[in-house]
């Protein structure tokens, strides 16, 4: 059986990679995928603790995070597609122009 600490380390690495991707990339799609990676890292941590503590609360939190991630994908991809139709690229600078 794999110890819980290994899952936590993998979750921390995934979260770090996601945070690194959000901070250094200018492409909105890559930033979007990095945020999803961070959410999945949090899910891994929740499931690890839920299994270690024999508690269902962590799995309920994962379900909530999955629902929020799905809503984020719908709204975010809608904005990105609308931006891409107006411009040839989707960088974070184009998003900043949406302020009005």
Q: Which residue segments constitute the domains of the chain, with CATH numbers given?
A: 4-91 (1.10.287.3510)
Q: Which tens digit of pLDDT belongs to each residue from 42-72?
A: 999 999 999 999 999 999 999 999 999 999 9
Write down the residue that tokens 């961070």 correspond to.
38
CA distances from 69 to 2, 6, 7, 88 (A): 28, 25, 21, 26
Q: In sequence order, what are the beta bridge partners of 27?
A: 91
Per-residue HEC secondary structure of 44-92 comes to HHHHHHHHHHCCCHHHHHHHHHHHHHHHHHHHHHHHHHHHHHHCCCCEH
pTM for the model: 0.84
Q: Which tens digit of pLDDT belongs to each residue from 4-40?
A: 999 999 999 999 999 999 999 988 889 989 999 999 9
Q: Is the pLDDT of residue 97 over 80?
A: no
């Amino acid at each position: 059986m794999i110890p819980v600490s290994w899952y936590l380390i993998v979750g921390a690495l995934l979260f770090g990679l996601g945070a690194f991707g959000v901070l250094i990339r200018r492409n909105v799609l890559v930033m979007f995928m990095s945020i999803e990676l961070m959410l999945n890292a949090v899910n891994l941590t929740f499931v690890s603790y839920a299994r270690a503590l024999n508690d269902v609360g962590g799995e309920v939190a994962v379900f909530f995070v999955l629902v929020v991630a799905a809503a984020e994908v719908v709204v975010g991809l809608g904005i990105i597609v609308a931006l891409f139709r107006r411009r040839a690229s989707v960088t974070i600078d184009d998003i900043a122009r949406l302020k009005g």
